[in-house]
Amino acid sequence: MPLTDVKVRQAKPRESGYRIPDAGGLHLFVTPSGSKLWRVRYKIDGKEKLLSLGSYPEISLAAAREARDQAKAAKRRGVDPSALKRAGALQPGQAPPATFEVVAREWHAVKAPSWKPHHAADVLASLEREIFPTIGALPLPEITTPMVLEALRRVEKRGAVDLAHRLRQRISHAFQFHIASTGNGRDPAAHLSRAMTPIDKSGRRPAVTTIARAREVLQACEQLPAFPVTRLALRLLALTLVRPGEVRGAVLDEFEDLDGQEPTWRIPPERMKSQFEHVVPLSTHAVDVVKEATRLAGRGPLLFPSTRQARRPLSENAIGYLMNRAGFRGEHVAHGWRATGSTVLNERYPADRQAIDLMLAHGPKDPVEGAYNRALHRTRRRELAQIWADMLLEGMPNAEQIATAARR
């Protein structure tokens, strides 16, 4: 039975110390001398540990329970509550020092209005997924440079070197935000880039360049056990040749005339790397993917929601991770489908260079031509989209079949 203030107050000393349990691992230890000490039992890494919170009546029952809840929340994030206590973050009855997660969310809230919505969502999602579980619950003074580097190393080992560097910047910006706001503190991520895996400066993302190899890549990825949403997103990415972020952030309202003669995907400017809307004529295969993804998405606005939170887009690493698991790390990346489609189509249809560039949302390289040539080549782009889809998916399962294949 949980403790009450009366029970705590009336507890008497005995010849040997004894415990009076409360709940959730919290108990009151009464010493032979009559002292009353609050303690919490917990397990971490399979080992049982004991956390001392302080004595009664300096710490009330309510304050002890609050500290217990803080300790349990830290443990769920993989942080040892004892580390929080050493840093002064477990102070029953007092406001704890700011943790990295609290500060990072404050920084994000201030900066997000100046960013495009999909970028703001990506920044927060990357921190929630990669960083908060490791250092999010720690107070800022407790976080060291090696701790941050260890968190980033885990991202690098998956082959996501670019993401690791972006995360370092985001961590650093959060610390600098706190320093500017409070006038004290330090930035343990400031110079970490020197210890990280360098970013490939070639500007070329790995991509296969033949239709035969492209089919092998897609087929191998789709045969792996995976979440249906990830497989469908990969197929739509390969069919439409848009950027991965544009697929991940796709909203159901962006698609029109799916049952008509001119099914189209209109990607608004705020989700593009330009100030213009990108109009994507859809092949019949792409329409099948959109319809199947819509069925799976249910009532949510996103076509490819996160597997954990329906209101968040699919993780920015999900498609790339699937391709890495299929064995194509270093040979082909999610963004590489654009190079693949462009190479194959330009080799076969060199006279359609302008139409193919528009399929990729690339404007004319000549600024004078860009100013005067407003042709969108939509009819030819629709034909090319269907040609590309027919080549890529010949003999392969339809969208419904890949959505119902083995899950991970």
- Range(s) for CATH 1.10.150.130 in the chain? 100-195
Which stretch of DSSP H or E encloses residue 28?
A: strand 26-30
pLDDT attached to residue 252:
92
Alpha-carbon separation of residue 200 from 197, 203, 320 (angstroms) = 9, 7, 16
> Percent of the chain, pLDDT > 70?
89
pLDDT attached to residue 45:
74
- Range(s) for CATH 3.30.160.390 in the chain? 5-86
- Band (pLDDT 50/70/90 cuts) for residue 369 is very low
pLDDT greater than 50 at residue 98: yes
Higher model confidence: residue 148 or residue 155? 148
Report DSSP letters for 207-238, one per residue: ---SHHHHHHHHHHHHHS---HHHHHHHHHHH
- Look at 72-76, 195-199, 334-338 and tell me which has the smallest mean pLDDT: 72-76
Q: What is the mean pLDDT of residues 221-237?
A: 93
pLDDT attached to residue 78:
60
pLDDT attached to residue 95:
52
CB 30 within 8 A of CB 20: yes
Distance CA 398, CA 112 (A): 39
Distance CA 362, CA 243 (A): 12
Report DSSP letters for 99-124, one per residue: BHHHHHHHHHHHHGGGS-HHHHHHHH
Q: What is the mean pLDDT of residues 132-161?
A: 88
pLDDT greater than 70 at residue 1: no
Q: Which CATH architecture has domain 5-86?
A: 2-Layer Sandwich (3.30)
CB 399 within 8 A of CB 288: yes
pTM over 0.85: no
CB 118 within 8 A of CB 65: no
CB 177 within 8 A of CB 107: yes
pLDDT in tens, 32-61: 988 999 999 988 777 888 888 888 988 888
Distance CA 266, CA 263 (A): 10
pLDDT attached to residue 67:
83
The arrangement of strands across the sheet holding 36-44 comes to 18-21, 26-30, 36-44, 47-56
How many other β-carbons are positioned within 10 Å of the β-carbon of residue 113?
8
- Triad 223, 227, 232: Cα angle to 5°: 70
pLDDT attached to residue 408:
64
Strands (E), 105-204: none
- Range(s) for CATH 1.10.443.10 in the chain? 211-403
Higher model confidence: residue 77 or residue 224? 224
Q: What is the mean pLDDT of residues 137-148?
A: 90
pLDDT greater than 80 at residue 344: yes
Taking alpha carbons only, the member of 324, 306, 303, 331 closest to residue 316 is 306
Q: Which CATH architecture has domain 211-403?
A: Orthogonal Bundle (1.10)
pLDDT attached to residue 368:
41
Q: What is the mean pLDDT of residues 90-100?
A: 65
> Percent of the chain, pLDDT > 90?
43
Q: What is the mean pLDDT of residues 262-269?
A: 92
> What superfamily would CATH give domain 100-195?
Tyrosine recombinase, N-terminal domain (1.10.150.130)
pLDDT in tens, 266-280: 998 888 766 778 899
pLDDT in tens, 278-310: 899 999 999 999 999 999 888 788 999 987 777
pLDDT attached to residue 147:
93
Considering 193-202, 348-357, 371-380, 398-407, the range whose residues carry the highest mean pLDDT is 348-357
